[in-house]
């Protein structure tokens, strides 16, 4: 979502998010099972995590759609409806088309306050209208050309069961309706990523199968003075989103950690991720091995562990080695500016997903949105098939909001648990991870059987298959919700008041008389006590 420069606030009223959102993309020949994969974390302190749903519908000629800005709810205007819209579950539609995003902001003078289409509405309106990725690109670019583009610069991940694309777009300023943009197809055997920094550098000018762009994307940059040179050397990223320290350390570093995990040659770009060198990373790379959907889910939980950006072992991590720091990203000490790292997994996530698009299955069965609310590291990716016609109660829109706590809302239960874990991470996260792995292992183990049952029903009636998958998805969401609520109760009891109560296999141990056993007074790790002594000397020394 919205980007600020390191020392200067990027000041547009609608842009309320800061260095938010991460997308990872996997081509079908780079995945273990042949599926295409897109991941997305919707990161914003102002975003409530819920699963959006638009049912398929036919529209009469002249029907209009009121557009409201996704971030703020502000009314933007009206656009015409097509004759038919498709079923949409979250960020995936019934044809397995998936769209994610990250906002890079870019040149603020190019924002158009008169545009009707904001980036969020553009995503969800397009999902209701597109049957494949290429069609989605055309719909998105046609919509902004006709109605104007309101938001800042945006990178979109657009995929279907056969293709993965990155589309980068920015407006043309007040009084100049439309946008300049370029879309590049990610090769099938490659992976890609973007995280709030424009990533398309030079692109082929005569390869429409793999690259599409607005006719004025280069000429407009020249007209505005953003670029002088040959068309063949033009870089979209350099012209419309010039790199700064924040763009590297807070944004490109997240791309680097993904690339570095799956390609050993990417280790050399660590200095780029740190903001020390400026040679950009490629838009996409070939991984050293094929990725599973579980690999991508695990990557969404990354905090730079085991890399030069790992920050779990310094004083800022506290005694319990937390991989989190509280906002803001930058801070000052003795008139010197410093920063926190901005990892992939972050506390401000509203919802997160990994979409699995499978060409060998009928669309209602092939598309799975593995969905979770809150921080990716603290959530459970639960299978929501793209054809479902009802949203589970725990994900339902309107079941609570940021100012209304609900004990039946997944977002609130996840936050209840994660906010216990953050400050005692090294003690409590293993208990969370145990339940997380148990649930996700269950879902993966059931996937083949569920697909086969749905396929057998689909051969008789597509409606029966959809009903079956709607029921299955709802049951899994409720099962995960109930388990997580029990986890929260368990953590409260086990770690209440700073001690650790003894348990075995989730059952608390009682004494021979049936009473609770004496808890362990665990205190703090030895390294923390050494630091206390180093800073306080003999102040707390026991004298006799």
- State the Cα–Cα distance between residues 319 and 313, nearest whole angstrom: 9
- The pLDDT value recorded for residue 20 is 86
Least confident of 3-7, 125-129, 339-343, 387-391: 3-7
| Averaged pLDDT, 225-245 | 97
pLDDT tens column, 248-292: 999 999 999 999 999 999 999 999 999 999 999 999 999 999 999
CA 231 and chain centroid, separation: 34
Phi and psi torsions of 536, nearest 5°: -115, -10
Q: CB of 155 within 8 A of CB of 23?
A: yes
Query: Tokens 């001690």 identify what position?
Result: 499
Neighbours of 510 (CB within 10 A): 11
Distance between CA atoms of residues 353 and 39, nearest Å: 6
Contact 384, 89 (CB under 8 A): yes
For residue 130, what pLDDT is reported?
Answer: 98
Instruction: Specify the pLDDT at position 19.
Output: 66
In sequence order, the 6+-apart residues with CB closer than 8 A to the CB of 307 are: 257, 260, 270
What is the model's pLDDT at position 5? 36
CA distance 249 to 259: 15
Helices and strands of the chain, counted as H and E runs: 13, 23
Q: What is the pLDDT of residues 398-441, one digit of tens each?
A: 999 999 999 999 999 999 999 999 999 999 999 999 999 999 99
* 3-class DSSP state of 159: strand
Mean pLDDT of 527-531: 92
Tell me the per-residue pLDDT of 182-200, one tens digit each, with 9 for 90 and over.
Answer: 999 999 999 999 999 999 9
Average pLDDT over residues 317-323: 96
State the DSSP string of 350-378: EEEEEEEE-TTS-HHHH-EEEEEES-GGG
When pLDDT is cut at 50, 70 and 90, the band that residue 15 belongs to is very low
User: Are the CB atoms for 200 and 183 separated by under 8 Å?
Assistant: no
Please tell me the predicted confidence (pLDDT) of residue 2.
42
Return d(Cα 77, Cα 117) in angstroms, integer: 9
Mean of per-residue pLDDT scores for the chain: 95
pLDDT given for residue 381 in this prediction: 98
Closest-CA residue to 295 (of 483, 33, 42): 33
126-146 pLDDT tens trace: 999 999 999 999 999 999 999
Q: Residues near 83 by Cβ (< 8 Å), separated by ≥ 6?
A: 58, 59, 61
In terms of Cα–Cα distance, which of 143, 157, 150 is closest to 171?
150
Distance CA 139, CA 133 (A): 10
Query: Is 384:371 a contact under the CB 8 Å cutoff?
Result: yes
Residues 6+ apart with CB under 8 A from 333: none
pLDDT of 540 > 70? The answer is yes
């Amino acid at each position: 979502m919205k980007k600020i420069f390191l020392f200067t606030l990027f000041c547009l009223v609608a842009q309320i998010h800061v260095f938010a959102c991460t997308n990872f993309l996997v081509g079908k020949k780079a995945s273990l099972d042949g599926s295409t994969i897109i991941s997305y974390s919707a990161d914003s302190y102002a975003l409530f995590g819920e699963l959006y749903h638009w049912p398929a519908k036919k529209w009469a000629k002249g029907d209009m759609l009121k557009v409201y800005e996704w971030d703020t709810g502000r009314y933007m205007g009206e656009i015409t409806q097509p004759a038919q819209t498709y079923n949409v579950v979250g960020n995936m539609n019934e044809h397995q088309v998936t769209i994610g995003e990250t906002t890079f902001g870019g040149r603020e003078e190019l924002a158009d306050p008169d545009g009707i289409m904001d980036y969020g509405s553009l995503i969800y309106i397009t999902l209701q209208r597109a049957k494949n990725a290429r069609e989605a690109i055309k719909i998105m670019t046609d919509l902004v050309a006709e109605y104007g583009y309101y938001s800042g610069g945006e990178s979109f991940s657009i995929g279907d069961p056969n293709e993965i694309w990155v589309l980068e777009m920015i407006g043309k300023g007040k009084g100049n309706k439309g946008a300049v943009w370029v879309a590049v197809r990610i090769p099938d055997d490659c992976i890609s990523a973007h995280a709030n920094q424009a990533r398309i550098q030079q692109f082929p000018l005569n390869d429409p199968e793999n690259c599409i762009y607005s006719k004025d994307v280069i000429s407009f940059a020249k007209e505005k003075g953003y670029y002088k040179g040959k068309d063949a050397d033009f870089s979209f990223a350099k012209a419309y989103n010039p790199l700064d320290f924040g763009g590297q350390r807070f944004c490109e570093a997240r791309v680097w950690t993904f690339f570095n995990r799956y390609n050993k040659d990417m280790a050399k770009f660590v200095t780029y991720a740190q903001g020390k060198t400026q040679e950009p990373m490629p838009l996409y790379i070939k991984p050293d091995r094929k990725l599973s959907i579980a690999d991508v889910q695990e990557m969404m939980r990354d905090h730079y562990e085991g890399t030069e950006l790992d920050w779990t072992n310094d004083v800022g991590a506290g005694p319990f080695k937390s991989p989190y720091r509280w906002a803001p990203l930058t801070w000052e000490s003795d008139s010197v500016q410093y920063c926190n790292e901005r990892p992939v997994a972050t506390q401000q996530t509203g919802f997160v997903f990994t979409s699995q698009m499978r060409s060998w299955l009928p669309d209602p069965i092939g598309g799975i949105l593995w969905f979770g609310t809150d921080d990716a590291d603290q959530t459970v990716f639960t299978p929501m098939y793209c054809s479902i016609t009802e949203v589970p109660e725990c994900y339902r829109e309107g079941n609570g909001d940021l100012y209304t706590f609900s004990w039946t809302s997944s977002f609130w239960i996840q936050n209840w648990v994660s906010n216990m874990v953050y400050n005692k991470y090294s003690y409590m996260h293993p208990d969370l991870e145990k339940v997380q792995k148990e649930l996700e292992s269950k879902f993966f183990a059931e996937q083949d059987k569920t697909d086969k049952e749905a396929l057998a029903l689909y051969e008789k009636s597509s409606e029966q298959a959809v009903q079956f998958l709607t029921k299955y998805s709802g049951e899994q969401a409720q099962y995960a919700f109930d388990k997580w609520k029990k986890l929260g109760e368990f953590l409260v009891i086990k770690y209440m008041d700073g001690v650790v109560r003894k348990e075995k296999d989730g059952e608390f141990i009682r004494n021979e008389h049936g009473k609770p056993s004496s808890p362990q007074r665990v205190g703090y790790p030895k390294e923390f006590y050494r630091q206390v002594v180093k800073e306080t000397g003999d102040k707390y020394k026991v004298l006799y």
